[in-house]
Amino acid sequence: MAGNTIGHTFRLTTFGESHGEAIGGIIDGVPSNFSLDLDAVQLELDRRRPGQSDIVTQRKESDTVRFLSGVFENKTTGAPIGFVIENENQKSKDYSHIQDVYRPSHADFTYDKKYGHRDYRGGGRSSARETACRVVAGAIAKQFLSHYGISIHAFVSQIGPIRLSGDLIKISLPEKENKVRCPDEKKAAEMITYLKEIRKAGDTIGGVVFSKITGVPVGLGAPVFDKLHADLGKAMLSINAVKGFEYGSGFSGVEMKGSEHNDVFQSNEKTVTNFSGGIQGGISNGEPIYFRVAFKPVATIMQDQTSINKHGKNVTVQGKGRHDPCVVPRAVPIVEAMAAITVFDHVLRHKTTQI
């Protein structure tokens, strides 16, 4: 009930706080007898890792995952996969100056009020560090999805005012991502320049991640509460800093008429348009699924801010440390991971629909 598990049949439970001993998780419901490439999991983690380029945080964390169970002779055993990522770099610093401070738009205040006790050395359970565990589970889900011919790809479609235009689902992705993870090289260069300015100003900025899922068979999802897009939406909204989710026509569908928006069938059971975003009535229809995820600007800025401490006194929060000017480049593998976990969960759930 404390909300540290996601998924029904394929499920991930995570633990770990930013400044504790380690983070990790248990992946349950893993089908047995499947060849799993554990090295590929580390590669996904490396996409999320701090310090990978000059436009992300320069924090040093190797984020090396150690698998403890569930795989024998490179094949899954059907037992849960337990894994741990050690927290390095836990210096015994003096935290007394920030111990009582509530940083603006962080979870310090809400966490303190809810739990009455917290690890004031960092974001604790609210730290985005927890998402590393999601990437581990997502990387495993991706390998299973690949067996079913399902692929998931995400990229950055907007940073601040710089955005990709046109039909994003048609953009072909390069073999190798650039450091801002935007497939339009010209826009990517603009974004990088913009991010450097933002960082220089000690500020941060929001962005959008676009994701598409291809090769999805007809029939994944459920018609009522567990609509495929509702589960995808929850998965995305559970990522730190996310403020919005839309799929298919999304918010722009609001101004469309039914006669424009309806996806007319062709004789091959494909549709002429795809405003539905690959999901009708909560169930995949075989067309590509696509959605957009909005991220707010990172709350930690390198500027002085006024705030209060736990005694209600006014304090000044000083900006220091090593943080991302914008979260979306590193959020791309997290979005993919959460999509993979959600879709694979529904692949397994679908197996019990008919006898």
Q: What residues numbered 209-268 form the site for a second copy, per CB under 8 A?
A: 218-219, 221-227, 229-231, 233-235, 237-238, 240, 243-251, 253-268
Q: Give the binding-site size for a second copy (rule: CB under 8 A).
A: 155
Q: Which of 178, 149, 126, 147 is nearest to 328 (CA)?
A: 178
What part of residues 124-183 is at the interface with a second copy (CB under 8 A)?
Answer: 124-126, 130, 144, 147-148, 158, 160-161
75 versus 174: smaller Cβ distance to a second copy: 75
The binder of a second copy chosen from 297, 335, 337, 340 (CB under 8 A): 297
Q: Is 104 annotated for ligand binding?
A: no
Residue 21 contacts residue 89 (beta carbons within 8 Å): no
Torsion sign, CA atoms 190, 106, 57, 181: negative
Q: Is 300 annotated for ligand binding?
A: yes
The binder of a second copy chosen from 62, 77, 146, 151 (CB under 8 A): 77
The binder of a second copy chosen from 43, 90, 113, 149 (CB under 8 A): 113
256-277 b/e (C-beta count within 10 Å ≥ 16 → b): eeeeeeebeeeeeeebeebebb
Largest separation between any pair of C-alpha atoms in the chain? 69
192 versus 230: smaller Cβ distance to a second copy: 230
The sheet that has 314-317: what strands, in order across it? 101-102, 305-309, 314-317
Segment lying near a second copy (by CB under 8 A), choices 23-31, 46-54, 56-64, 188-196? 23-31
Q: Is 200 in the site for a second copy (CB under 8 A)?
A: no
| Separation CA 337–CA 133 (nearest Å) | 10
The binder of a second copy chosen from 138, 183, 207, 333 (CB under 8 A): 207
Residue 221 contacts residue 346 (beta carbons within 8 Å): yes
Binding annotation for NADP(+): 48
Binding site per annotation, positions for FMN: 125-127, 240-241, 281, 296-300, 322
